Chains A and B, each alone.
Chain A
């Protein structure tokens, strides 16, 4: 079974631009979460989607948004990029099914975003 895939792997943008990152979860997984990883800050939760609905949201400004499609693929968008948005953006999927650990997450390789 293929793992979580994220595209693109690397991205360079300039301040003020916007960016869209894509995530394809493991087949059958309907929950997709997004995290921002920066040195010394660990993984900061952005938001989680389940069946095309945002279920949870972290403490990030409104410039960060996301969506999920009917096939569970998800995208996140960052508008008006700032230098501080440079980070590794990770997507994780999880399977919610009776008898399974609901919060067991499987991560993709991430998208490295650099804002100049």
Chain B
């Protein structure tokens, strides 16, 4: 119930194409779903996040699509660029009185070919 399953493990996309990464969760108590981007030698950086009462959120070329009934959410990167090549982690978080708990997916290595 605490797992977040992320796919694919790796992804190769042509420059200008759309990159799609999918995640699925089981615990309906999660109330915050962030995506993180990590470059080699750096810590993960928050990219975009969504609450379960919203079905889609867009920030620039990055869009999260959220399907509450299916317990799935995905990251779409439009017009993918070589600079987007990084590892992406989805996460599901639950806040409660006295704290919060965040579970991360295993990560997707994205490579955008020039």
Indicate whether A and B interact: yes
Interface residues of A (CB under 8 A from B): 4, 31, 33, 35, 40-43, 45, 48, 50, 55-56, 90, 92, 94, 101-110
A50 in contact with B99 (CB, 8 Å): yes
A89 to B38, CA, bound (A): 14
Q: Which of A43, A48, A105 contacts B99 (CB 8 A)?
A: A48
Check A104 against B99 for contact (C-beta < 8 Å). no
Interface size class of B (residues with CB under 8 A): 20 to 34
Q: Are B89 and A103 in contact (CB under 8 A)?
A: no
CA distance A115 to B98 in the complex (A): 35
Partner of B43, one of A31, A56, A102, A107: A107
Q: List the one stretch of B11-19, B57-65, B68-76, B100-108 in contact with chain A.
A: B100-108
| Given A4-B43, A43-B44: A55 and B32 interface contact (C-beta under 8 Å) | no
Task: Give the Cβ gap from A70 to chain B, nearest Cβ, in Å.
Answer: 19
In the complex, which residue of chain A has the Cβ closest to the Cβ of B36? A107
Residues of B within 8 A of A92 (CB): 43
Bound-state CA distance A51–B34 (Å) is 24
Alpha-carbon distance A31/B107, docked complex (angstroms) = 24
Q: List chain B residues, Cβ under 8 A from A45.
A: 101-103
